[in-house]
Amino acid sequence: MLAALLGWAQGTFASKVEIDAGTIKVTREVDGGLETVALKTPAVVTTDLRLNEPRFVKLPNIMKAKKKPLDTLKPADLGVDVAPRLTTLKVQEPPKRQAGIKVDTVAALVDKLHKEAHVI
């Protein structure tokens, strides 16, 4: 949806991404194997879990990270306006579904679909 709104190219479920001057090559898994598409920049690319290999953190590094100070910023410090832009007018539950009915024959089903439901 974002790519359509922006009018940009789109590559989805990327398992490998190569960036060249002005183009992006996106490799993705499809039913028949791998598919590679070349996109002009700017583009929207979504990735697959196989894109990166996870790093496993060692316990000493976790302990070092816990001791480091954590800076907290407010949105105003970054110049970001977080005021709500939408207003909720009304919230209501959807109507309750009516109970289904059982029919004895196919002819009765076709008759009800035609005369009551008006779908055929």
Give the number of other CB atoms < 10 A from CB of residue 42: 11
pLDDT > 90? residue 110: yes
**pLDDT value of position 64:** 94
8-37: per-residue pLDDT in tens?
A: 999 999 999 999 988 999 999 999 899 999
Mean pLDDT of 89-111: 92
Cα–Cα distance for residue pair 40/33, rounded to 1 Å: 23
44-81: per-residue pLDDT in tens?
A: 999 988 787 788 899 999 999 999 999 999 999 999 99
**CB-facing half-sphere around the CA of 51: CA atoms within 13 A:** 15
**pLDDT value of position 26:** 94
**CB-facing half-sphere around the CA of 66: CA atoms within 13 A:** 7
Cα–Cα distance for residue pair 48/43, rounded to 1 Å: 16
Q: Kindly indicate the confidence band of residue 98, based on its pLDDT and cuts at 50, 70 and 90.
A: confident
Q: Spell out the alpha helix ranges (H) of 1-120.
A: 2-6, 59-67, 106-115
In the chain, where are the structural domains located? 1-52
**pLDDT value of position 74:** 93
CA nearest to 45, candidates 31, 30, 29, 24? 24
